[in-house]
Chain A
Amino acid sequence: MEHKIRVLVAKPGLDGHDRGAKVLARAFMEAGMEVIYTGIRRTPEQIAEVARQEDVDVVALSCLSGAHNTLFPKVVDLLREKGMGDVLVVGGGVIPDEDVPFLKAHGIEEVFGPGTPLATSVEYIRTHVNREA
């Protein structure tokens, strides 16, 4: 059987707006991926631990509170600490363009802002996921 891509869709921080995260979760499912959804208001520690327990290939972070510069790199650091540096981490939400280089320098491999077509995110994950050797 083929390796099924497992994606953790996670909402770090304090905002409760998860419409976007849920729409994405659905799009990933329709693309044949297995999506684990955490619910809102999770800590970076919780997200990294769930990623480890679920053996996901991708962590998709959504944040609309403005705290992405703190929370996203924290998730990346914790994943690396747990030996999961090969997991593809992407982010989305209301993220100003000027923050994107900072996030990319801190291990968030792509950032999808508002208005990104679902197919773009799906295709990015398909082509960038790190399959284990």
Chain B
Amino acid sequence: MDVRAGVLAGDIRSVARGISWVENDDPRAAELIRGIYPSTGRAYIVGLTGSPGVGKSTLVSRMAALMATGKRKVGVLAVDPTSPFSGGAILGDRVRMFDVALSPNVYIRSMGTRGSLGGISRATRMASRVLDAAGFDWVLVETVGAGQSEVDVHDVAYTTVVVMAPGMGDEIQAMKAGIMEIGDVFVVNKADRDGADRTAAQVASIVQLSDEREWHPPVLKVSAELNQGIESIIEAIGQHKSFLEHSGKLAEAKASMARRDVLEILRARLSEDLQHELDQPVLQEKLDEVANRHSDPYTVVDTVFEQYWRKP
């Protein structure tokens, strides 16, 4: 299977395999990304985040169905938590996505977090590049059920949608920092239930606090279950997109995303190198000294940094 050619031709099996390589840190992933990166930068990436149980998966499947009209292709990356104990995961987002599972223009991929704590996995970034190169017009990234600090989705998406549900009043107060700060669009889902107006008003009051921004995030009430108001979300995403385009911020975002692509790979490689460095026999004595309290971590780090890291 020529995965690179397959991805560029939009072949689903190749896309799926390419994402597996990225997830497994397979050496072939680097080769693949090299071959497809010039064809990326065209997809519009939207992140969706929010607490567990607010209805993200149902919402994503409704949005994907609407976005995939005409010849538009929608790729979904749905992230679920990996067990820190076994390394396994139950990826159940698909249970709520079956309406669109067989639509030829929608591709859904479930991903485990595999040790990442920011609400997405380390591979999500490169997985969205694979979808981008395969000609997907939209990429929707659904995070794990996120609380306050899982804000990494903001770094991989151009527009971030924060999803809430009624009855979260006090929680919203507590979320003032973190995910309340990354929303470009706020959605109060389950709007058919009691308390939706109150929740929406609370969100709006917090959003207004940071009103010096040029973009004023809308607060929308929808029901994914009843399929009501979904088009208002897509409209708001479209408005945010044209705001970014016209203000030059989209170009900025793309540049900083490319920078992050480099940074993330660099970070992973350095971390691997450092691990390797620590395994060198010459350092074992120094590590023992730290263990015996004859030395301390800072001193050893200084030594490592000077002697091994700043190699000529």
Contacts and interface: CB of A to CB of B under 8 A. Distances in A.
Interface stretch (B30-38, B86-94, B244-252, B296-304): B86-94
B13 A35 contact: no
Contacts of A49: 101-102
Contacts of B25: 1
A2 B13 contact: no
A53 B86 CA distance: 24
B83 interface: yes
A86 B218 CA distance: 48
Contact of A84 (B13, B92, B94): B13
A45 interface: yes
A31 B95 contact: no
Bin chain A's interface residue count: 20 to 34
Interface of A: 1-4, 6, 25-26, 28-39, 42, 45-46, 49-50, 52-55, 82-84
A39 B95 contact: yes
Nearest to B103: A49
B16 interface: yes
Main secondary structure of the interface of B (DSSP, over half): mixed
B109 interface: yes
Contacts of A6: 20
B98 interface: yes
A83 B109 CA distance: 18
Given A49-B101, A55-B16, A39 B86 contact: no
14 contacts: A2-B24, A3-B26, A6-B20, A30-B83, A32-B86, A37-B91, A39-B95, A39-B98, A53-B16, A53-B107, A53-B109, A54-B16, A82-B13, A83-B13
Contacts of A33: 88
Which 3 A-B pairs give the minimum distances between C-beta atoms? A55-B16, A29-B88, A39-B95
A3 B25 CA distance: 9
A29 B101 contact: no
Contacts of A25: 90
A86 to B, nearest CB: 11
Nearest to A40: B95
A29 B92 contact: no
Contacts of B16: 52-55
Nearest to B1: A83
Nearest to A82: B13
Given A46-B98, A55-B19, A37 B109 contact: no
Interface string B98-117: 10011000011110101000
B90 A50 contact: no
